[in-house]
Amino acid sequence: MTILPFLPERFLYGAVGDAHGDLPSLVAAVDAVREKATATGRTAFLIVLGDAIDRGPDSAGCASLLLRLARGRDPERMDVRIAILRGDHDEALARDPATGRFASGVEPADWAERLNGLPPDDPERAVAADWISFVREAPAAVLLRARGEGVLLAHGGVPHADLLPRLETVADLGAPECERDFVWCRVASARRKTPNRGSLTCDLGADDVSDFLARLAALAGAAQGEDARPFRVRHFVHGHEHAAPGVARQALRDGATAWTMTTFRDDGGGFLDPVRPAVALIDRAEGAEEPSHAEFAVSAMFVPVAEEAKGAEA
């Protein structure tokens, strides 16, 4: 897990949900946060919640855009700061160095299937190989931390109940089992779920999330050293789910809230065109006088994408 300072006087933070190969919608989401940041005299800081690939028509375009942004090589968006988290589709994509064939451990795996049908020297295959290497080093979760509180962001869930006794320091959150839950776990509607280690997509309940946030607050508070101010994690923002209308909000214990930035789909279970990833804006509470001690405010934003933007290049 990566810890980033929360600096609302400098940045407007936008958490972008699963793009799933829909490049025009991803571009629209990025630029919507940029426009709102510019309007307030700040810089956009994007936190991409994973699953940039599969399902949609342009996985390569989404991966290429995010790589350019991460490396400061997008000439139209040099002002953007970005943190990219691993999603299960991103992490599952692999390439056999001996044969050059791509494979994926998730379904649908349409980008891997497409890549294997391309000539060996096709540039898209190089983009995919670059993306695999980049994702391998990407964080599984980010904690935006102010002095007294924080917001946790991940693609999937949080470390489940069976892992909590092992967590004695923040560094323990980098254990493979914890990172797996950040990337792969799903948050169910039940209050609690028994850990099922026979499945990567191990379900969590709302109280399981609350228990982890309380444990994370204790660990992060202890890491603050001389500052004895109580620390709490007020929001958990994640993707990974597929449900209309695009954002789900769930109350947790102790005044915390879970925000699920879902991929749009219709009532019949099919994905809409465009996918339109939801965006969460993370800011200090309106009227807060001291940003380092301010309460976080999270709001959902829907990014409309005009039909004529479909197919446009980033």
Determine, yes or no, domain membership for 196: yes
Determine, yes or no, domain membership for 314: no
Q: Is the peptide bond before 176 cis (omega within 30 degrees of 0)?
A: no
Determine, yes or no, domain membership for 66: yes
pLDDT at 260: 87
CATH of the domain at 162: 3.60.21.10
Strand order in the sheet with 81-84: 81-84, 43-48, 11-16, 279-284, 296-301
* Domain range for 214: 2-309
Determine, yes or no, domain membership for 211: yes
Overall pTM > 0.85: yes
| CA–CA dist 235, 293 (Å, integer) | 15
* Tens digit of each residue's pLDDT (9 = 90 or more) over 218-229: 998 876 664 556
Determine, yes or no, domain membership for 54: yes
Determine, yes or no, domain membership for 244: yes
Q: How many domains does the chain have?
A: 1
Confidence grade of residue 292 (pLDDT, cut at 50, 70, 90): very low
* Tens digit of each residue's pLDDT (9 = 90 or more) over 74-93: 999 999 999 999 999 999 99
Determine, yes or no, domain membership for 185: yes
Q: Which two tokens stand for residue 84?
A: 């990219």
Determine, yes or no, domain membership for 70: yes
